[in-house]
């Protein structure tokens, strides 16, 4: 049965306009009013979803036509609509950036757009930019706008007065450092590292509640869709998944996909535990090994246990930070050289500039998998790649290495893009 619920894509003219803060504030505002909220993040992002999960009280999933595919996005949206009162989809980059862009995604998903605009350095130009964002190219279904980082109520009034008749004012948020989300080289900090994150979200929700218009919940009809038919190739398999401060880049969809194929997941900390739990396969996802290199270097019992797992011919998948930790050594940003787990020959060096960015496809012996790359380091190894993941658009590419049953790459794989191929990475 078709479900009617409130839904918005939240976008902006560019990155850095405050989309994540606004989405988190909206999610908390609805959640504390007793509504069931589901938040999605466009693009291959691991960090913003952690904030939205805390704000909404429910996991935040990724949807992205380039990496995840349109069918995956449509199904996840329909599943959310079956239970949710409110759906918020945070865009990526600017509204018209990328191929496909967020404007196209909103059109195909049949969702209206809330445009977030940083108004801190404008007044009379506010409406002109909003009008241009709506009518550029084939147009975008922008219904409302929110002015962010305004200087006060009078500044907000000046911005509101410029709006075209077909775009409604949702409200405004002031410039307020208590709402800012701290960042470092890969984006905002993981939610677990921001000690007062919940208080920040509450504060911004209070400010939004005080300035928002009364009628601001667009309703859409979303029809149910059948879930994907993932093969049960991992029945009875125990997969140990690294999850701690150094290994925290995990798509909820990947965990769900493994479990749907029959795997039993056990989580462990390569930083603090002496060894992984008893398992048939291990997954070392991405994260921040460069910030925890000293802890990795000290945990020789974990290095020995991983080496024993590898020597026994058991599968191990190491993605980005996981691959970095599997090399012999890491040169951190301060110039220190730290021992890693030593499963692969070579070393990794941190850089000040971006070394890889983009959505990729990898043709592996197991099948084609989609995913993405985003890193500030380079790896030097004598291993020969078994595949070269290439970007759908742009120059980015990443080598995929294999040593025994260990598969390693800077690429983060999106398992639902080819569930059977993902399952085979964890099979003997």
Confidence of residue 192 (pLDDT cuts 50, 70, 90): confident
315 SS3 class: coil
213 and 275 share one domain: no
Domain end residue (candidates: 222, 251, 276): 222
* 212 pLDDT more than 90: no
A 10 A CB-CB count for 170 gives 22
Confidence of residue 213 (pLDDT cuts 50, 70, 90): low
95 and 132 share one domain: yes
Confidence of residue 352 (pLDDT cuts 50, 70, 90): confident
Confidence of residue 240 (pLDDT cuts 50, 70, 90): very high
230 within some domain: no
Q: How many domains does the chain have?
A: 2
* 81 pLDDT more than 70: yes
* 150 pLDDT more than 60: yes
The stretch 41-62 carries a mean pLDDT of 94
The stretch 155-175 carries a mean pLDDT of 94
CATH number for position 413: 3.40.50.880
Q: Active site includes 320?
A: yes
231 within some domain: no
CA angle 98, 227, 103 (to 5 degrees): 20
270 within some domain: yes
How far apart (Å, rounded) are the C-alpha atoms in residues 297 and 286?
17
139 and 263 share one domain: no
Q: Are 379 and 327 in contact (CB under 8 A)?
A: yes
Confidence of residue 187 (pLDDT cuts 50, 70, 90): confident
168-182, 274-288, 370-384: least confidently modelled range: 168-182
Measuring CA to CA, which residue among 192, 213, 154 is closest to residue 51?
A: 192
Q: Are 341 and 322 in contact (CB under 8 A)?
A: no
* Chain center to CA of 94: 16
297 within some domain: yes
85 and 214 share one domain: yes
* 214 pLDDT more than 70: no
pLDDT of amino acid 181: 84
Q: Residue 121 contacts by C-beta under 8 Å, 6 or more apart in sequence?
A: none
The stretch 295-322 carries a mean pLDDT of 98
pLDDT of amino acid 168: 93
What the block records as the tokens of 276 is: 């992984």
214 and 264 share one domain: no
The stretch 216-224 carries a mean pLDDT of 82
Q: Which residue in the block uniquely carries the two structure tokens 């059948």?
A: 226
Domain end residue (candidates: 222, 246, 270): 222
Measuring CA to CA, which residue among 253, 285, 256, 255 is closest to residue 270?
A: 285
20 within some domain: yes
212 and 258 share one domain: no
12 SS3 class: coil
207 and 250 share one domain: no
DSSP lists the bridge partners of residue 9 as 89, 113
pLDDT of amino acid 228: 93
Q: Residue 229 contacts by C-beta under 8 Å, 6 or more apart in sequence?
A: none
256 and 145 share one domain: no
Measuring CA to CA, which residue among 341, 370, 360, 424 is closest to residue 398?
A: 360
* 161 pLDDT more than 60: yes
22 and 153 share one domain: yes
116 within some domain: yes
* 211 pLDDT more than 90: no
Confidence of residue 216 (pLDDT cuts 50, 70, 90): low
Domain residues for the domain of 275 are 238-424
401 and 329 share one domain: yes
Q: Are 317 and 426 in contact (CB under 8 A)?
A: yes
CATH number for position 106: 3.40.50.300
Q: Are 156 and 210 in contact (CB under 8 A)?
A: no
Active-site residue, from 42, 248, 320, 326: 320
264 and 166 share one domain: no
Confidence of residue 98 (pLDDT cuts 50, 70, 90): confident
What the block records as the tokens of 164 is: 């075209």
Which tops the pLDDT comparison, 339 or 1? 339
pLDDT of amino acid 186: 66
Confidence of residue 215 (pLDDT cuts 50, 70, 90): low
What global pTM score does this model have? 0.94
Residue-wise DSSP of 139-208: ---EEEEEEEEESSHHHHHHHHTT--TTSEEEEEEE--GGG---EETTEEPPGGG-TTHHHHHHHHHHHH
Q: What are the CA-CA distances from residue 307 to residues 68, 283, 344 (Å)?
A: 33, 14, 10
What percentage of the chain exceeds 70 in pLDDT? 98
Q: What are the CA-CA distances from residue 339 to residues 249, 266, 301, 307, 323 (Å)?
A: 22, 26, 13, 14, 13
Domain end residue (candidates: 193, 222, 251): 222
228 within some domain: no
Count of helices and strands (H, E) across the chain: 12, 24
244 and 134 share one domain: no
92-95 long-range Cβ contacts below 8 angstroms, 24+ apart: 92/41, 92/42, 92/43, 92/45, 92/64, 93/14, 93/15, 93/43, 94/11, 94/12, 94/13, 94/14, 94/15, 95/11, 95/12, 95/13, 95/133, 95/140
DSSP lists the bridge partners of residue 156 as none
Can you give 107-149 as a three-state secondary structure string?
HHHCCCEEEEEECCCCCCCHHHHHHHHHHCCCCCCEEEEEEEE
The stretch 80-108 carries a mean pLDDT of 94
What the block records as the tokens of 285 is: 């996802």
pLDDT in tens, 270-279: 999 999 999 9
269 within some domain: yes
């Amino acid at each position: 049965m078709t479900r009617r619920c409130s839904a918005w894509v939240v976008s902006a003219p560019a990155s850095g306009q405050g989309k994540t803060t606004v989405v988190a504030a909206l999610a908390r505002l609805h959640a504390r009013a007793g509504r069931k909220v589901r938040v999605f993040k466009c693009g291959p992002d691991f960090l913003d979803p952690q904030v939205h999960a805390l704000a909404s009280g429910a996991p935040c999933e990724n949807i992205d036509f380039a990496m995840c595919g349109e069918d995956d996005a449509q199904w996840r949206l329909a599943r959310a609509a079956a239970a949710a009162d409110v759906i918020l989809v945070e865009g990526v980059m600017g509204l018209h950036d990328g191929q496909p862009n967020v404007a196209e995604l909103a059109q195909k998903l049949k969702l209206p757009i809330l445009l977030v605009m940083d108004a801190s350095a404008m007044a009379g130009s506010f409406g002109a930019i909003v009008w241009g964002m709506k009518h550029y190219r084939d147009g975008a279904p922008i219904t409302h706008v929110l002015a962010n980082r305004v200087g006060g109520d009078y500044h907000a009034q000046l911005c509101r007065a410029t709006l075209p008749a077909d775009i409604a004012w949702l409200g405004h948020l002031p410039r307020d450092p208590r709402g800012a989300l701290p960042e470092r080289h890969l984006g905002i900090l993981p939610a677990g590292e921001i000690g007062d994150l919940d208080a920040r979200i509450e504060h911004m929700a209070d400010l939004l509640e005080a300035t928002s218009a009364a009628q601001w919940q667009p309703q859409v009809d979303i029809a149910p869709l059948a879930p994907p038919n993932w093969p049960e190739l991992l029945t009875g398999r125990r997969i140990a998944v690294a999850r701690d401060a150094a290994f925290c880049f995990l798509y909820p969809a990947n965990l769900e996909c493994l479990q749907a194929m029959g795997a039993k997941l056990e989580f462990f900390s390569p930083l603090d535990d002496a060894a992984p739990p008893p398992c048939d396969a291990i997954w070392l996802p991405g994260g921040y090994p460069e910030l925890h290199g000293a802890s990795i270097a000290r945990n020789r019992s974990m290095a020995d246990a991983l080496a024993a797992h590898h020597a026994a011919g058991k599968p191990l998948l190491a993605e980005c930070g996981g691959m970095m930790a599997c090399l012999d050594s890491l040169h951190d940003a301060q110039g220190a050289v730290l021992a890693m787990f030593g499963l692969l020959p070579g070393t990794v060096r941190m850089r000040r500039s971006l070394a890889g960015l983009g959505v990729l496809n990898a043709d592996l012996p197991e099948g084609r998998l989609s995913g993405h790359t985003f890193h500030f380091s380079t790896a030097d190894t004598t291993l020969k790649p078994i595949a070269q993941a290439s970007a759908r658009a742009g120059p980015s590419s990443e080598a995929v290495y294999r040593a025994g049953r260990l598969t390693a790459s800077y690429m983060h794989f999106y398992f639902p893009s080819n569930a059977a191929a993902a399952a085979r990475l964890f099979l003997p």
